[in-house]
A and B are shown apart, each in its own frame.
Chain A
Amino acid sequence: MSVTSRRLRTYAAAALVAGLALSSTACSKSDDSDSGEGGTVTVTLQYFGTPGLKEAAEKFNSTHTDIKIDAQNMGELKDFDPKLTQWIATGQGAGDIVMLEEGNLQKFLLEPKGFANLFDLGGKDLKDTFLPYKWEGGQTADKKKLVGLGTDIGGLAMCYRKDLFQKAGFPTERDKVSALWSDWAQWAAKGEEFKAKNTGAAWIDSATSVMQPYIMQKSDTWFYSKDNKFIGDSNPIVKQAWDFGLGLSDKGLTAKLVRWNPDWDAAFKKASFATLPCPAWMTGVISGRAGAEAKGQWDVATIPGGSGNWGGSYLAIPEQSKKKKQAFEALKWITGKEGGLEAYKAAGAMPSNVAALDDPAFKDSKNEYMNNAPTGQIFGASAKALKPIHLGPQHQNLWEKVFEPQMQAAESGKSTSAAAWAKAVEDGKKLAAG
């Protein structure tokens, strides 16, 4: 055997070992870290995504001496949720404070025994400091247990692309744009006008984008009645929103994209659609995808119907925590005015705390990327106008895994609206029955 081939073999072996090491994933969990020094209690806070909670926790730590928050990033929601569900079920592993997404909170509201009742820890007095729908959203159906306190919300606006509006001969100034549509029918009519101008772009990214704002504005229920019976098939608003959305794609107003896919990302760069229902956090999504060259091209107008919410999270204390009292103190601060403003400053997460929403630091804030739109004012107004809606245990899955894919199938022409609806209802019933 020659020297070169022997050396090559060594390299191959090294590469193999490296490959194996890379493909094997290690997972470790931090143990309870109790720092006893000076009477300081450390509580752990597990969060997902980039909600600005780490920065809020840092601020808390710099102003508090008796309690410290150890903020731990648990990755994305879809990675964190199964783990948390497991930890709650088995009674160990969860932090002292955990972040719950609005949709994923629902299943815990149905089986709330894994979480501490915040009413008992002093949560009763906080009622008026939160937006009503966010306050109610954290409680069980019988209103006896408060599982979570609200952190961020996604007040809704309508983002639009100025250059495309100009091309179509539409006004581009945000107040005039807002005046184009007071409701969804007017907005859709504008879409047909827009299409007639042949700008090469669609009016909206997809048929499913309008579902959330449309239903939340017009109804206090969606897939579930208030006693948690599945009514996705009989609740008129669901079918109405479905038909409205697919009606848009029938008229050729949608770009038929699937949210979060690379094609959707790329469509921002190519200016493939002119409007997009925009929760507060979406402005960050847009600037990240459309990039620096589109700075100032996107602007923010009011949403048809005037109010809305899309997404948002809560903080809760697992029953298994041994430091509930301290955890509640920390939680109260983080979901309070200062914590909310800190998270807004760091990550643009819009607070659900009323005092924070009224604070100039939020209210007068502008979004530089979105043509200096007064986002604090626009999003704040939409959030305050929103009435509570009851979502129910499997809401998130019913929408994202059952109804939305079927709607996408109908939009892409693989299925008809009627067939997709029948299938969605059938699967939805099954899922809700569990």
Chain B
Amino acid sequence: MGFFLEVLIGGLLTGVLYSLVALGFVLIFKASGVFNFAQGAMVLMAGLALVQLIQPTYIGLWHFVGIGALVAAVAGLLVLRVLRGGTFAVVKGDWRVHLPMLVAVGAGLVGGLLALAGGAKGWPLWLAIPAAIAVMVAVAWVVERWVLRPLVNQEGIILFMATLGITFFIDGFSQTIFGSNVYPLNVGLSKDPVFLLESVFDGGILVNQLDISGAIIAGVLVAGLAVFFQKTRIGRALRAVADDHAAAQSVGIPLNWIWFIVWSVAGIVALVAAIVWGSKLGIQFSLTFLALKALPVLILGGFTSVPGAIVGGLLIGAGEKLAEVYFPALTKYVLGTAMPGGIEYWFAYVLALVFLLFRPQGLFGERIIERV
């Protein structure tokens, strides 16, 4: 019993990570109808940015300064935008036309200098995490401005192809800058195993502390997102856009702005996934293909459901671990010979296939409200 629970908990905690990646998918799919294959690459990007900022010795000083400048420029522009009540609009011919550009350049210079100063020992975590968020916001802005906006009103498959392009661009471009090493990420989460419920079971249940802190971080993130979506004006607008693009536009909700926000939020979710996953296994380029693991999660949970992404992730995480451990024993019992493992690699996909056959909308798929 203790062993079973151990496997189950281990699986569930892996599932948390799948959930985090799937969550990013769901957010973007709901708000813009885009199936964002690049979510895995965004996890990679976020992880690399964070690692580089914390431990700058990995890359050349000038790259680091460049990143610092970019981050600062984006932060400066965002601050400007917030201060101006969400608009860059200025009087024509006024010197203020150039204000955003001036702010960007100025902030970039300051950021570059800061990076130069901090380059020798890396940025502290409290500075590096907001900076990594700024990087993800910059990615969101670039994607919205240069990919989504020109492709507005195109078929879903075209947008999907575009995100495939983004995936491989991010993947390749990151290798160009950072090389293809595996970087350990240490944000101070303890990796020591602990024993739980020692009084109930003989020897207790062995759980990695990192997994537990990961689950807590993910839980906080999901709770935060729930509040954001339910209680804030922007969250409400996001839900409105998810429901009906045209109507949202008609009441003056600017779709471009909403897309930018939702990609930024997905970027932040990716950063959290990167922190948890990276602490466990290091930041490596195979993170890009986490997207493939999120696919069955989405099919299980439903493409448009946030709770679905979470439950789907947990189910698949737990299911594949249990199958991996117990399937050989089962085959031995039934067939007489134990089949080797490896079920972990295809379990999720077969489960997704079964779901596609019997419940294509997934567990929590769109509750379609239709009145005639």
Whether both chains belong to one complex is answered with no
- Chain B residues within 8 Å of A, Cβ to Cβ: none
- Chain A residues within 8 Å of B, Cβ to Cβ: none
